[in-house]
Amino acid sequence: MKLDILSSLNAERAARRAAIVVTDVASGAQRLVRASDFAGDPLRVELEARLRSGKSGMVEAEGGRLFLTVHVPPPRLVITGAVHISQALAPVATLLGYDVVIVDPRTAFATPERFPDVKVIAEWPDVALPPLKIDRYTAFVALTHDPKIDDPALTHALGRDCFYVGALGSRKTHARRLERLAAQGLGDVVLARIHAPIGLAIGAVSPPEIAVAIMGEITASLRLAQAGAAEAAA
């Protein structure tokens, strides 16, 4: 890979922006296509299909064979609530390749000792979340049961293109949450994006079981959506 392409690719990756390297198999010639440039590229359909699937592969186009190498940001999990479930959820998510960030203004809970090897931000969501630049490669979960923390965090997440938003709580708790968020101006379509009660319905009881249920639902949201989009584009 030429240095200029590598430098441009590294810049896109550092900014958590997707890009695809197109390689002509016969000649070895390469070019980098940024996600923001897909619309004007002659390979737009193929590029968008590959980006949605997240998988690299060969295509027949432009009178030859091209290999599309997909580079997407690593998935990220942002959690509000340095709680017991988070202590189980963070290592599971890390094992699955997620960059994990925990946000909780309660300094007694949000400590490196309770969350080793995980980024912990002991700030209120309105301070902590904007610099994280939540994007389409981010899953967001609210676990505090405290509306002062979870509600503004959910509002922030729902205003971004994150692929998953979930919130802990019973159906009654979630119904009250929806009333509060609706009173702040969030519409039904936006609120319907919240997965609540959070996690797959596997009868989870303990924090580790709930963590498995949550990551199962997040994985389904990520992978099944990608598979459906790829099939639709095929």
Helices 44-53 and 207-233: crossing angle in degrees, nearest 10, is 160
Q: What's the rounded Cα separation, in Å, for the pair 92 and 206?
A: 14
Between the CA of residue 162 and those of 21, 77, 87, 172, 221, what are the distances in Å? 24, 10, 22, 25, 11
Q: What's the rounded Cα separation, in Å, for the pair 125 and 106?
A: 11
Decide: residue 14, CB within 10 A, 0-12 exposed, 13-18 middle, 19+ buried: exposed
pLDDT, one tens digit per residue, over 91-121 is 999 999 999 999 999 999 999 999 999 999 9
Could you tell me which residues come within 8 angstroms of residue 98 by beta carbon, excluding any fewer than 6 positions away?
74, 75, 76, 77, 139
pLDDT, one tens digit per residue, over 171-196 is 999 999 999 999 999 999 999 999 99
Q: What's the rounded Cα separation, in Å, for the pair 87 and 102?
A: 10
Residues in the chain: 234
Q: Global pTM?
A: 0.81
Q: What are phi and psi of 150, to 5 degrees?
A: -70, -40
pLDDT, one tens digit per residue, over 24-36 is 999 999 999 998 8
Please report which confidence band the pLDDT of residue 49 belongs to, taking 50, 70 and 90 as the band edges.
confident
pLDDT above 70 as % of the chain: 96
User: Is residue 228 over pLDDT 70?
Assistant: no
Class of domain 76-225 as given by CATH: alpha beta
- Alpha-carbon 225 to chain mean position: 12
Q: Where in the chain is the domain with CATH 3.40.50.720?
A: 76-225
